[in-house]
Structure 1
Amino acid sequence: MKHLTLTSLFAALLLAGCTSMAPDYERPALPVAQDWPTVSANAQSGISATQDKPAAEVAWQEFILDENLRKIIAMSLENNRDLRVAALNIERARAQYQIQRADAFPTMGISGSGTSQRLPADLNTGGEAGISRQYSAGVGTSAYELDLFGRVRSLNDEALLRYLATGQARKTVQLSLVAEVANAYLTLGADQERLQLARQTLENQRQSYALTQRSHELGVSSLLDLKQAQTVVESARVDVAKFTSQILQDKNALTLLAGQQIPENWLPRSQNDDRVTLAQLNAGVPSEVLLHRPDVLQAEQLLQAANANIGAARAAFFPRISLTASAGTTSSSLSNLFESGTGFWSFVPQLNLPIFEGGRNRANLKVSEVDRDIAQAQYEKTIQSAFREVADGLAQHSAIDEQQAAQVALVDASVDNYTLSEARYRRGVDSYLQVLDAQRSLYAARQDLITLRQAKNSNQVTLYKVLGGGWREAPAIQNG
């Protein structure tokens, strides 16, 4: 009896696990150009001249040189709630995969039961009222599907690929988080510089206003000159208050990303140029970069999952065979339950052949095919978006050094213009309006230079992100 049960179960396992009916997967062709858009020679050399490794192999600990920024990024990777949700999504997907995978194996269970029943005389075969008892114990499997046409295997493949996609989603969140923290850090540093410039300007304008007020008292300067000088002072005060408020908001944003309060001595006082990022990154070629970005890998795995689901939909057109089997012992007396001659077994194969489903199976197959087409379109759109992000980053990088050099020259010229305008005003050659224009131009030029330096650093961070930086595991670098 036991031999027959085990033989039947073994035969069922051998019959199961056939080839999936899912279509053979072929990766769609890249819907983008084979090369990045042409950029200037200076920009191209600035990206790839001294960095042999592609961006994907550059861990964020190698990319970020600022020690305090490293500490804040490490803190955010440990405490950020978005990243924590992404990690929990992986755990959830892993559990769902295990649930689906369990369908590929028989469900075995041990059961035991006891029943007592009293029957009246007119229902009892002996003609007398009586009590009957029955006890049983056994082991069995219930409704195990023989996967002859790969339905269970296709569903298992789909669950596995969706689980793997959540891992890529977490990498995407982590890479985005590193970039967000770095940009928030840069923004705070830039606003600190803007506040310092506003304070310096306010102090200088107060001194200039004092001189103009003294000149007005002596009858040298007009009341108009005095009021014009006052407007500059008040404007600088407005900027001081504005940047003070903005710095508090920047700190709040950085704290949210880090997931907890950041020590004050870790926060930047300036942008720390040349201490934030590496100067060079290897842009590589589109086929290498785009196909290995975590978000693209996630989209492709979801496409493969949709492709696998077609196999399950196709298998629904074919017969489904399930087995229910049990073996054990039964007796009318609990004390005799395991005595010789009390054994029993049952074997119940069941065949379900779809004949008329009202078009349900065809509709399910159509849905799975459309889902596959949607996933392919989303995959191609992800690649196109990634290509544009890299192209935009390279385009900005190609001109930003030249912009910064021109802005530095503009600041120098504005300094000379302001110095000459003030000297001519003190000699009575020009009106104070000329000085005001020169002051405003110099202040705006310096503010624009801060913004341009921030844009340059932010462009490096953006390139690191869009090139898929650090998606491969790399050993951590200890902070000094």
Structure 2
Amino acid sequence: MNKLLPLYATAALALTLSISGCSLVPEYLRPAAPVPADWPTTTSAANGKTALKFSDDWKAFFPDATLQALISTALEHNRDLKIAVGRVDEARALAGLARADRYPTVDVNAQRSAGLTPADLSGTGRELSTQRYDAAFGITAFELDFWGRVKALDDAARANFLSSEYAQRSFRLTLISDVAASYFSLRELTLRTALSEATALTRKDSRRLIEKRRDVGLSGDLDFYSADGAWQAARAETANLARQKAAAENALRLLVGSNLPAILDAATAADAAFSRSAASEVAVAPPPSFAPPAEIAVELPSEVLLRRPDVLAAEQKLLAANANIGAARAAFFPRISLTGAVGSASRELSGLFDSGSGAWSFIPLLKWPIFDAGRTQANVDLAEARKVIAVAEYERTIQQAFREVADLLDARTRYAEQLAALEGAEKSQAERLQRVDARYRAGVSNYLELHDAQREHFLAQQAMLATRRAWAANAAGLYKALGGA
């Protein structure tokens, strides 16, 4: 009979590994997307129905070598991204812990125990000295998952891991988009600052010239004060833009997480040189475009939104909440766990593995809650409430994604229209300035007319640069909003 007992333990172990319990997890049905089946009319009309498949490689979408260097540095050094990656590793480890609970833990145990019982307690009238040596393979409190509780917890942990992974991908897309937008902002402010500096120098020269003309009686005080006010205004605007440029550079440095690449200095120097040369001409050529590819069209919302990492992350949280309901429901049913060991025992270490020293233990445990003051039901209610929250959060994420994409697509069309109008306005103001300047030099126009033409032309240039930056940043936002692919 003793020889059969280890066989019983082995059979029990095999049974535990082959049991597949029933699941109490509710059937998962993905909630219908609470958004229209198509984009708004203005957006659809502006962008057509042609599907554009973005490349998974962000370098294909952002061909600017300077921007590529910045994004590469940010992906390597940004601290927030490192935290997000660490969260993924943490969730992966937690999922591994939950998965391990589905399998028995087998240990090898070896121990020596010794004791001394005093004579008045030994029952023999003499001190009783005992010792024992044990060596065994053991299984500790392995739960037979009849009701799928452990599997549900494993599924929930895996869903939470995938949610954190999708969240990390979403943050990565956001980081790429933010670096691009910050880079475009810095380039815009570099162009505008250099343009303002050159304009301030030009107005300073005009002020000096008018001061000399006033000294010889060719200009009056009104012209001088107008020229002086224009120069002071240009100085103030230069200081304001320089402050914004420094803030934009600091913001970009924070996103990159390291010193800015040297290639950025060359790009900003080229922008500044362009603005200074452009300001020296009466008719200014358009500044260089720093926008990514302009032709952007998208598929239907159901195809675009459901591949966004933030939407996928929200759905995984919903799956985790759904699995937790099954785990909570399983608590109403008996939990059966097994603890056992098979090995050898002896009073002497030398006889530990001798014939006849075999030993085994087998301890099944059944635990069935009878009364817990409603704790188990409260846990089910809590799990179901959290699923309701997860559904609402999933639907809200889709709605926010729809609005983001629709806004960006519509804004892209409006920016294109606005930029075309501003370019036309800048050309008109440049022509006006050229003619007023010629009339002023010929003595036909007064300085107030020239000053007004210079001011309007300067404002048109600044507005055009700001809109070009907004147009470029809009494309960076679309890269993120469309899931980067």
TM-score by length of 2: 0.91
Instruction: Compute the RMSD of aligned alpha carbons.
Output: 2.0
Output aligned runs, 1:409-420, within 5 Å: 409-420=424-435
C-alpha distance in structure 2 between counterparts of 1:107 and 1:41, whole Å: 58
Output aligned runs, 1:205-216, within 5 Å: 205-216=203-214
Deviations 1:158-193 (A, max 9, x none): 000111111101110111111011111111110111
C-alpha distance in structure 1 between counterparts of 2:192 and 2:482, whole Å: 31
Shift of the alpha carbon at 1:123? 1.8
Shift of the alpha carbon at 1:423? 4.8
Deviations 1:411-451 (A, max 9, x none): 12222333444455556655533333322221111100101
The answer for the alignment partner of 1:54 in structure 2 is 53
The answer for the alignment partner of 2:226 in structure 1 is 228
Gaps spanning 5+ residues in structure 1: where? Answer: 471-480
The answer for the alignment partner of 1:204 in structure 2 is 202
Shift of the alpha carbon at 1:58? 4.3
1:127 to 125, 130, 140: 125
Partner secondary structure for residue 137 of structure 1:
strand
1:20 to 20, 23, 31: 23
1:37 partner amino acid? P
Shift of the alpha carbon at 1:315? 0.5
C-alpha distance in structure 2 between counterparts of 1:19 and 1:443, whole Å: 75
The answer for the alignment partner of 2:34 in structure 1 is 31
Shift of the alpha carbon at 1:275? 5.4
Partner secondary structure for residue 321 of structure 1:
strand
Check whether the contact 1:307–1:372 (CA below 8 A) recurs between aligned residues: yes
Shift of the alpha carbon at 1:72? 1.4
Check whether the contact 1:188–1:251 (CA below 8 A) recurs between aligned residues: yes
The answer for the alignment partner of 1:7 in structure 2 is 11
Gaps spanning 5+ residues in structure 2: where? Answer: 273-286
Check whether the contact 2:408–2:478 (CA below 8 A) recurs between aligned residues: yes
1:98 to 89, 93, 96: 96
C-alpha distance in structure 1 between counterparts of 2:18 and 2:375, whole Å: 30
The answer for the alignment partner of 1:261 in structure 2 is 259
Deviations 1:15-71 (A, max 9, x none): 3x32321111001111000000112788315xx76xx5423x442111011112112
Check whether the contact 1:331–1:342 (CA below 8 A) recurs between aligned residues: yes
TM-score by length of 1: 0.92
Output aligned runs, 1:145-224, within 5 Å: 145-224=143-222
Partner secondary structure for residue 224 of structure 1:
helix
Partner secondary structure for residue 39 of structure 1:
helix
Summarize the Cα distance change of 1:349–1:420 in structure 2 as closer, same or farther, 3 Å threshold.
Answer: same
C-alpha distance in structure 2 between counterparts of 1:28 and 1:205, whole Å: 64
Check whether the contact 1:273–1:457 (CA below 8 A) recurs between aligned residues: no
Deviates more, 1:365-374 or 1:196-205: 196-205
Partner secondary structure for residue 94 of structure 2:
helix
C-alpha distance in structure 2 between counterparts of 1:68 and 1:221, whole Å: 49
1:433 lines up with 2:432 in the alignment: no
Check whether the contact 1:69–1:182 (CA below 8 A) recurs between aligned residues: yes
C-alpha distance in structure 1 between counterparts of 2:189 and 2:263, whole Å: 17
Partner secondary structure for residue 191 of structure 1:
helix
Output aligned runs, 1:313-462, within 5 Å: 313-425=328-440, 431-462=446-477
Deviations 1:130-174 (A, max 9, x none): 322222221211111000000000000000011111110111011
Check whether the contact 2:69–2:261 (CA below 8 A) recurs between aligned residues: no
Percent of aligned pairs with the same amino acid:
39
1:29 partner amino acid? A
Partner secondary structure for residue 19 of structure 1:
coil
2:153 partner amino acid? L
Which fold has the larger relative contact order, with Cα–Cα distance below 8 Å and residues 6 or more apart in sequence? Answer: 1
Shift of the alpha carbon at 1:222? 1.7
1:464 lines up with 2:467 in the alignment: no
1:445 partner amino acid? A
Summarize the Cα distance change of 1:134–1:317 in structure 2 as closer, same or farther, 3 Å threshold.
Answer: same
C-alpha distance in structure 1 between counterparts of 2:156 and 2:348, whole Å: 50
C-alpha distance in structure 2 between counterparts of 1:385 and 1:200, whole Å: 44
Q: How many corresponding residue pairs?
A: 464
1:241 to 233, 239, 242: 239
